[in-house]
Structure 1
Amino acid sequence: MRCPSFSWKESMMMRKPPAPRLAPGPERDRVAAELKAKYEAGATIRALAKETDRSYAGVHRLLADAGAHFRARGGVMRRGALTASPDSGKGTQTVREH
């Protein structure tokens, strides 16, 4: 969202510069290992991308190169989530019991 008191050019100049591109080598391996540790501790790829000023794809690539095991998309299902009942007709849903 743009601040109304600044021109577009001024607001672009106030942004942080993007993270430097990492060439293959020990520095890239170190950054990838740090991201992997944070991801496996529960951080999301989007949060890591924002924290490191990298793109989602860039963080995903670093995690893949580091051998991270990716979580399924969508997060944790809540208890009592609605699911389609296998014996019911189309369009009806029942509450799943745990």
Structure 2
Amino acid sequence: MGAGSGEPVPQPTVSYESGTSTRAIAEATGRSYGGVHQLLAHAGVQFLPRGGTARDATASTDAS
């Protein structure tokens, strides 16, 4: 996936968890959207709902 194909660079994961969109990470790193999505999924990132950050986190996470 990466240049060395060994261990993925943690920067995209940190960026995504800080609120950067998958598409923005793809543009900044020169990777495809799918490539970034696959990298994040492989790293175990919990994806945000479509459209960015959740406006009402309690509505989507209240499982009790």
Same-fold call, TM cutoff 0.5: yes
Distance 1:74 1:51 in 2: 19
RMSD of equivalent CA atoms: 1.6
Other structure's SS at 1:58 match: helix
Q: Which has the larger radius of gyration?
A: 1
Which has the higher relative contact order, 1 or 2, with Cα contacts under 8 A spaced 6 or more apart? 2
| TM-score, normalization by structure 1 | 0.48
Q: How many residues align?
A: 53
Offset, 1:24: 3.5
Q: 1:56, CA displacement in angstroms?
A: 0.1
Richer in strand (by share): 1
Q: Hey, which of these two has a bigger chunk of helix by percent? A: 2
Report runs of 4+ in structure 1 exceeding 4 Å deviation. none
**What is the aligned-residue identity percentage?**
45
Structure 2: unaligned runs, 5 residues or longer: 56-64
